Structure 1
């Protein structure tokens, strides 16, 4: 799977069925070439900049399933 395909999928939290957003960045291990984590940018509210959500940094081990349209993750909080 290419990054361009991966970044178009919605990331859904398994614990509360909430849509977190879409993948914005990947972190790789330089030695092994494996993905360590994915980053999902938080929602930035244009009208209320003070209440923007932080970015989600999700370890790769917390990704439970990658489907055709969504990525299911299991994260707390």
Structure 2
């Protein structure tokens, strides 16, 4: 299966165990030395129409990805971690 990283932005990340929806992929973390994807990142939600910034991003390590669908990516959310915006 071939795909482009840009196509990941059209996919929603969903927890495989309870169906919780986290949002759409906003970024991808890549190891430049090996060329492998390390994590998928969902941007944090806006707080009060964006006036108070955003919540923390949610980072899903590549190991937590279980299945790719046409419109969704299923993950095991227990392995997800949050990342502070830099």
User: TM-score of the superposition, structure 2-length normalised?
Assistant: 0.76
Q: Which runs of 4+ in 1 moved over 4 A?
A: none
What residue in structure 1 maps to residue 29 of structure 2? 27
Q: Aligned partners of 2:32 and 2:22: how far apart in 1? A: 27
RMSD of equivalent CA atoms: 2.0
Aligned-pair CA distance for 1:53? 3.4
Task: Could you tell me which runs of 5 or more consecutive residues in structure 1 were left unpaired when the two chains were aligned.
Answer: none
Aligned-pair CA distance for 1:30? 1.5
What residue in structure 2 maps to residue 4 of structure 1? 6
What residue in structure 1 maps to residue 84 of structure 2? none
What residue in structure 2 maps to residue 73 of structure 1? 75
Aligned length: 76
